[in-house]
Amino acid sequence: MEKINFIFGIHNHQPLGNFGWVFESAYERAYRPFLEALEEYPNMKAAIHISGPLVEWIEENRPEYFDLLRTLIKRGQVELVVAGFYEPVLAAIPKEDRIEQIRLMKEWAKKLGYDARGVWLTERVWQPELVKTLREAGIEYVIVDDYHFMSAGLSKEELFWPYYTEDGGEVITVFPIDEKLRYLIPFRPVEKTIEYLHSLIDDDESKVAVFHDDGEKFGVWPGTYEWVHEKGWLREFFERVSSDERINLMLYSEYLERFRPKGLVYLPIASYFEMSEWSLPARQAKLFVEFVNRLKERGEFERYRVFVRGGIWKNFFFKYPEGNYMHKRMLMISKLARDKPEARRFILRAQCNDAYWHGVFGGIYLPHLRRAIWENIIRAHVPIGSFVKDIDYDGREEVYLENENFIAVFKPAYGGALFELSSKRKAVNYCDVLARRWEHYHEVSEAATPEEEGEGVASIHELGKKIPEEIRRELAYDNHLRALLQDHFLSPETTLDDYRLARYEELGDFLTGPYNYEPFENGVTLWRDGYPGRRVEKSFRLTEDGFVVDYRVKSDAKVLFGVELNLAVHSVMEKPEEFEADRVEIDDTYAIGKAVIELDKRARVWKYPIKTLSQSESGWDFIQQGVSYTFLFPLDGELRFRLRFREL
């Protein structure tokens, strides 16, 4: 009897820094019931990958899960597939770190009795040079999307076999994941998957269909717990697939023991199709969606999709400069800490991918995920003193200052502002505030992704989303990045609402214009002669408990001069505030803790929450990224004042 080989796999992952209750909920709704159901069907097989942050949580909180997993491995039902332990995008970290990350996960797999030889490629981000790294790490095969192969020019009909790929004389096997199966499983009735698998059967006994996707689809994604578990989809799927005489269930290793890959291919830099949309700059992403939808309307998308390509994953470092800076600081410390064992685990944790990008999940927009990355970057810190260097590779030098308790990094070319103030004692970056930016899905209600019509439950890629009116009223977009010690010249008629909703005009070019600078021990002086008749000079010095900055400002017209500090305060602020003070206390339970801002003269203060709008698997997230504190002084001539920030 002719059969179709079928490999079924899942990828279980929770980001570093995610809330404990999220881990708990995902475990109870997806990870545990999936494995318990698998135990009931001894003829069912699954390739399973579990990321390091989740492994550590399960080991501490639900160790019995691994007892069951070990049993299923011994039965031959489960094959463990590894990745970088802390789920880094391998293409985004140094080769030495890739090997170390994979080695850690292989060592964990051995503790469960499995010698892992395959890699689940995080976010399926592929670049050819990974071949050498993976082979050096003892990996024989890797799992990517069929989109990678189509981007190389292969047709859909050629994507039911693994292939070899080569780089520099090193060879590895690559398995393509079937996109149609990703949209069928588990969102459509089991019969739809069975019919599709049967339709693939022909006289080639080596033909294989591969499904490997997020384990969270089986209970965590909206509507899936009821559909997959309460209504019995999962058990029906296991029963029917494992008992169907025309479906030959296999593991990756079993396939490679029996068959050879089809031939040789060369895959370009790629990820899955949805990622090619998300990674584009917002305006280009909007055009990309329009283009794909136009092809679909004409019925031409499937014919031409092999030529439809958007951006690549590393575009996110261009799209989000905040993420780029965080990434480059991580790389800087990784290199410095190469031979320092006490720092290695921290820097490997700081490579967890989620906080560096954004798609249908919150990603970089989630402050608690970025906070976890910064905590580990700071804990991995290697003392290096002060220096001037282009840290984030934007072609402009940063001034890096360090004392026993703090790290301060200025961008003279960007308003002479302070873009990092990291506390070694608290392991927080006070400046970790994401700017408010327009995203293409603020106007596009549908993503440019294929859809499978029919009964079942909608994938999160298929959910239409409309911005609630109460959010739209407060929605604003910044035309600059957020930092500390950002300088403003404003019209005296400017109101707090004008300012916070970005409906005002800067009277000058100090906010983003370049400043001259002169470093000194534990400090730096920055100055700019900008808009005619206006000058700002600020002399900054790190102290044991924070910093002191002395301002000297000159203007030839009646204006308001403002100094803005954007702080990563996550205690929710409901409404903007306007008041006069020479001292502002901060008490943030969730992130930066306690601090105080002091001035040597009274000022008008504008205080408001910085909220970004992003999409998530559950709809819209209107998230407080931080709080803006702006100290305003009427100015007609010269002004001198001192501002002090103290950590409490």
Q: How far apart are CA 509 and CA 575, in angstroms?
A: 29
Is 214 a residue of the active site? yes
Closest CA to 255 of 211, 197, 205: 205
Q: At 68, is the secondary structure helix, strand, or coil?
A: helix
Who contacts 117 (Cβ-Cβ below 8 Å, separation ≥6)?
A: 138, 139, 140, 141, 253
Catalytic option among 79, 97, 100, 123: 123
Q: Angle of helix 321-336 relative to helix 341-349, nearest 10 degrees?
A: 160
Who contacts 158 (Cβ-Cβ below 8 Å, separation ≥6)?
A: 149, 262
The count of residues in the chain is 648
Is 123 a residue of the active site? yes
Pairing of strands 523-529, 264-265: unpaired
Q: At 54, is the secondary structure helix, strand, or coil?
A: helix
Q: How far apart are CA 120 and CA 105, in angstroms?
A: 11
Report in angstroms the alpha-carbon separations of 157 from 153, 184, 207.
12, 18, 11
Quickly list H helices, 301-379: 301-304, 316-319, 321-336, 341-349, 367-379
Q: How far apart are CA 21 and CA 14, in angstroms?
A: 11
Do 47 and 118 meet the contact criterion of CB atoms below 8 Å apart?
A: yes
Report in angstroms the alpha-carbon separations of 585 from 193, 285, 595.
59, 42, 6
Q: At 121, is the secondary structure helix, strand, or coil?
A: coil
Q: How far apart are CA 17 and CA 38, in angstroms?
A: 29
Residue type at 555? Answer: S
Q: At 569, is the secondary structure helix, strand, or coil?
A: coil
Cis peptide before 341 (omega within 30 of 0): no
Catalytic option among 214, 451, 452, 498: 214
Query: What residues act catalytically?
Result: 123, 214
